[in-house]
């Protein structure tokens, strides 16, 4: 009876391992990384990396995916992604945006200045 339980436990463990391996194969690393981008700036920087450095983009996605799966990274904001890009030597410059916020709402310059 003990041998039978061990055999069933081994089969169950084998099924779990193969199921998780199949699940990992079906999961697209790029979509996982893009789902963890927390703001518009991060998406903009990833798009610029993809366009200007396609060979490096694949490596970045692969490493970020690995860090996400290991639990090292929960989400990525634009500043973090920009510092990663600059630390590996990529010349990425985000678009300059000037926003005027008055009472918690984004307004144009005339309304902000009170004219």
Spatial distance between the Cα atoms of 48 and 92, rounded to a whole number of angstroms: 7
Residue 49 lies in a domain: yes
- The predicted model scores a pTM of 0.64
Spatial distance between the Cα atoms of 53 and 59, rounded to a whole number of angstroms: 10
Expressed as residue numbers, the domain containing 70 is: 29-113
User: Residue 63: left (phi > 0), alpha (psi -120 to 50), or beta?
Assistant: alpha
Residue 2 lies in a domain: no
Tens of pLDDT, residue by residue over 27-57, are 899 999 999 999 889 999 999 999 999 999 9
Residue 101 lies in a domain: yes
Residue 36: give its domain's CATH number.
1.10.8
């Amino acid at each position: 009876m003990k041998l039978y339980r061990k055999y069933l436990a081994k089969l169950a463990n084998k099924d779990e391992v193969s199921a998780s391996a199949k699940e990992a194969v079906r999961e697209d690393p790029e979509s996982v990384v893009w789902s963890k981008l927390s703001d518009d700036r991060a998406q903009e920087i990833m798009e610029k990396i993809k366009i200007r450095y396609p060979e490096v983009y694949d490596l970045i996605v692969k490493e970020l995916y690995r860090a996400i799966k290991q639990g090292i990274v929960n989400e990525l904001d634009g500043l973090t992604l920009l510092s990663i890009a600059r630390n590996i030597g990529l010349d990425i410059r985000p678009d300059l945006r000037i926003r005027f916020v008055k009472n918690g709402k984004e307004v144009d310059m005339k309304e902000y200045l009170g004219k």
